[in-house]
Amino acid sequence: MILTPNKINALEIIKLKIHTVESLLKTIAVWRLKNNKIVFTNGCFDILHLGHLDYLSKAADLGGRLIIGLNSDASIKKLNKGENRPIQDEQSRLLILSALQFVDAVILFNEDTPEQLIKLLQPDVLVKGADYDSNETNQNHKNYISGSYTVKASGGEVKTIPFLEGFSTTKIENKIKGKGF
């Protein structure tokens, strides 16, 4: 296929889903005018696997628009996920997540948690994996969902989604290294 100046290619369409705070706030304003329910989740999504797809598709089903807050490379290093993490750089992870049909927007964050981002975006639904507790109110507890107070205070919902058993980036990394399954 020969690209003409009037045609936008598939990769450029995918890149349109990658946002700054400013561009995402404008996009959310349009979505709200259309009464779209905004769902937000976050994570590292280092090596996208079936567990991620299951989780993210279920999160998307909770509303009309799915936003993913993606941990930057620097914030992953602070999370102590392992000396080799992240395996894929943030730009690669942004593009891969943006390529998913059910993902509407992806935004990078550098902080330890997406708390400030959630305060700015004010999603209708905040989603995390079931290793977190949507009822936990102690912000220092390991099962507390960052941003849950903000979302609940504005009338939103906080949900958890069970993990698909047997799938994790760590398991894939260990298998690649020959350390078992």
Lowest-confidence range among 2-11, 47-56, 71-80, 115-124? Answer: 2-11
Q: Quick one: tokens of 49?
A: 């696997």
Higher-confidence position of 2 and 86 = 86
Structure confidence at residue 5 (pLDDT): 62
Residue 164 maps to a domain:
yes
Residue 1 maps to a domain:
no
pLDDT digits 0-9 by tens, 51-98: 999 999 999 999 999 999 999 999 998 887 777 789 999 999 999 999
Residue 4 maps to a domain:
no
pLDDT digits 0-9 by tens, 34-46: 999 999 999 999 9
pLDDT at 147 over 90: yes
Residue 136 maps to a domain:
yes
From the list 163, 164, 158, the residue with the least C-alpha distance to 131 is 163
Residue 181 maps to a domain:
no
Read off the pLDDT band of 180 (50, 70, 90): low
Residue 40 maps to a domain:
yes
- For residues 137-141, give the mean pLDDT: 93
| % of the chain exceeding 90 in pLDDT | 80
Give the CATH number, domain containing residue 131. 3.40.50.620
Read off the pLDDT band of 3 (50, 70, 90): low
Residue 30 maps to a domain:
yes
Read off the pLDDT band of 131 (50, 70, 90): very high
The percent helix, strand, coil of the chain (3-state, each to 5) is 35, 15, 45
Residue 82 maps to a domain:
yes
Average pLDDT, the chain: 92
First to last CA, the chain: 42
The count of structural domains within the chain is 1
Supply the range of the domain harboring residue 76: 10-176
